[in-house]
Structure 1
Amino acid sequence: MYEAHQITFRTLGRAILHGVSLQVMPGAFTAIVGPNGAGKSTLLKVLANEQRPSEGAVSINGQDISSYTPRELAQVRAVLPQATTVQFAFTVEQVVALGRHGRRSSPAEDRAVCEAVMTLTGTLAFRERQYQTLSGGEKQRVQLARVLAQVWDETVYPRYILLDEPTSSLDIAQQQYIFNLARAVCARNIGVMAIVHDLNQAVQYADTLYFLRDGLVTAHGPAGQVFTQRNIEETFRCRVNLYRDPVTGHPYIIPASDPANRFVAVGK
């Protein structure tokens, strides 16, 4: 399990996170949702060990994250930030192979892993193309393949992937492709945590939802249970109408028309 224990983060005398606790289970998809400025990306950076919390601790599989060496940490968790820049004329295969850096595996094993994750992400067909020539959606799938290559090896311990808005700027088909991939890799005893802006996609794909506002967890639990009109309205401070798909039973929301842009905490 990947855990945040009462995380508080302060910078320039201002608290961004206030006693946030969170659990990412192996083999499950956890989504974090919340308005802009809620502290979502800061929380991800603390979880990834890119920022040290002012208070609290992060643990992975029962071990404090600070006790991992960089190599050990790279083998147990991988991070996909909002944007990744590649300055050199790398091919797709070379970018994916960066995920194998630091692994104690043979070149043959590395090639096999890279081929497996490129096949899964639909990038194998253009493995020899230069990364810079790809579309935005293709680049995102290559970056996801790189992250998967980092933690793909089957181990006795769970591994984890942290995704920061993995579908930003992608069209709806590419968004669905990325989320379906994230769900699929959970079957390899990998826990996936993603910051998600689209609430309807979050409840469709996630096992667990965390609502975050002003650095505080306002609600969390099984996605279908905590995806309520009250939780959404109180977290995002806007009116919504909540419905259920008659075929799948999945809840979904549509913003309510409110010309005065008022907020009232109503609903169930």
Structure 2
Amino acid sequence: MTATKLMQLQRATLALDRRRTLGPFSLNLQAGERVAILGPSGAGKSSLLKLMANEAPPAKGQVLLDGRPLSSWSPAALAQRRAVLPQSHGVAFGLPVELVVALGRVARRDDARQPQIVREALAAAQAQHLLGRRFDTLSGGEQARVQLARVFAQAWDAEGGLLLVDEPLAALDPGLALELMQAMADFARQRGHALVAVLHDLTLALNHFERLWLIKDGRVLADCDALPAALPLLEQLYDMRLRLLRDELGLAVLASPYRQAA
């Protein structure tokens, strides 16, 4: 059976200013896939995610969701097909946690199940203990859990949708990063959502994602399976020597710079 083509980027470029562009990006995403976007700082990873989220229109080419250009989707309809977790977790006001999570449901009118879904989304993000708290009083890790619950609430009813997350685990301690990564993977798998995440942690990428988009200097260096072919490409991407370790707990990546000849 042929996999469902969820999103297509057809030579899509993003204009940074009058002279600089990123792309063109030509990529296909199937329903249910887990893709990690990797690359050095400033390579264009977050910009690629913005193209996919419809937060930045392509200067050339097009991005299709379910075979339709993103520009043809209404905001409400798009919100019910894809959810975005940005880098920043800030909220301007001291909103209650349950209201922050409920913001993921604003595209659904007469949502009688909203209170229940908010509670269940918080539980899925391991944040049910934060009910009743003010968002601006939470730690960075707690805010990350609540924002992840907001994304879960948004995508709760859909099947075969799209979750886009931009460095969701930055500045979190290793234990919490693993917990939230597993929560995202479980949620996407249960509903058949595609999960696309900008990451810096190679170990997380290789353990939790099946496919990698490697971005360098605003271009796609490679679109490849996570293993085993990715290691030489990752060395080229980061200009680092990498070693892969494997045990019963999973994979780990060790890195060291190439030594220059004397």
2:182 matches 1:177: no
Alignment equivalent of 1:22, drawn from 4, 19, 27 = 27
**Structure 2 partner of 1:243:** 244
Q: Which runs of 5+ in 2 are unaligned?
A: 1-5
User: 1:246, CA displacement in angstroms?
Assistant: 3.6
Q: 1:59 to 1:130 in 2, by over 3 A?
A: same
Judge conservation of contact 1:81–1:164 (CA < 8 Å) in 2.
yes
Alignment equivalent of 1:211, drawn from 189, 194, 214 = 214
Judge conservation of contact 2:241–2:258 (CA < 8 Å) in 1.
no
Alignment equivalent of 1:116, drawn from 107, 116, 120 = 120
Q: Which runs of 5+ in 1 are unaligned?
A: 263-268
User: 1:26, CA displacement in angstroms?
Assistant: 2.1
Shifted more, 20-29 versus 35-44: the winner is 20-29
Give the 5 Å matches for 1:161-172: 161-172=163-174
User: 1:79, CA displacement in angstroms?
Assistant: 0.8
The one-letter amino acid of 1:117's match is: A
Judge conservation of contact 1:4–1:59 (CA < 8 Å) in 2.
yes
Q: 1:259 to 1:226 in 2, by over 3 A?
A: closer
Which deviations, in whole Å up to 9, do the C-alpha atoms of 1:44-69 show, x marking residues without a partner? 11111111111111111222111100
User: 1:259, CA displacement in angstroms?
Assistant: 5.7
> How many Å separate the matches in 2 of 1:84 and 1:17?
26
Alignment equivalent of 1:12, drawn from 11, 17, 20 = 17
> How many Å separate the matches in 2 of 1:115 and 1:233?
43
**Structure 1 partner of 2:253:** 253
> TM-score, normalising length from structure 1?
0.89
Judge conservation of contact 1:89–1:130 (CA < 8 Å) in 2.
yes
User: 1:192, CA displacement in angstroms?
Assistant: 0.9
Name the % identity. 35
**Structure 2 partner of 1:266:** none
> TM-score, normalising length from structure 2?
0.91
**Structure 1 partner of 2:131:** 127
Judge conservation of contact 1:220–1:226 (CA < 8 Å) in 2.
no
The one-letter amino acid of 1:193's match is: V
Alignment equivalent of 2:223, drawn from 211, 220, 228 = 220
- Where 1:169 maps in the other structure, the secondary structure is coil
User: 1:154, CA displacement in angstroms?
Assistant: 3.7
Which deviations, in whole Å up to 9, do the C-alpha atoms of 1:53-105 show, x marking residues without a partner? 11111111222111100111111111111003212121111110111112124
**Structure 2 partner of 1:84:** 89
Judge conservation of contact 2:164–2:196 (CA < 8 Å) in 1.
yes
- Where 2:108 maps in the other structure, the secondary structure is coil
RMSD value over aligned CA atoms?
1.8
User: 1:249, CA displacement in angstroms?
Assistant: 6.5
User: 1:258, CA displacement in angstroms?
Assistant: 4.5
> How many Å separate the matches in 1 of 2:259 and 2:97?
48
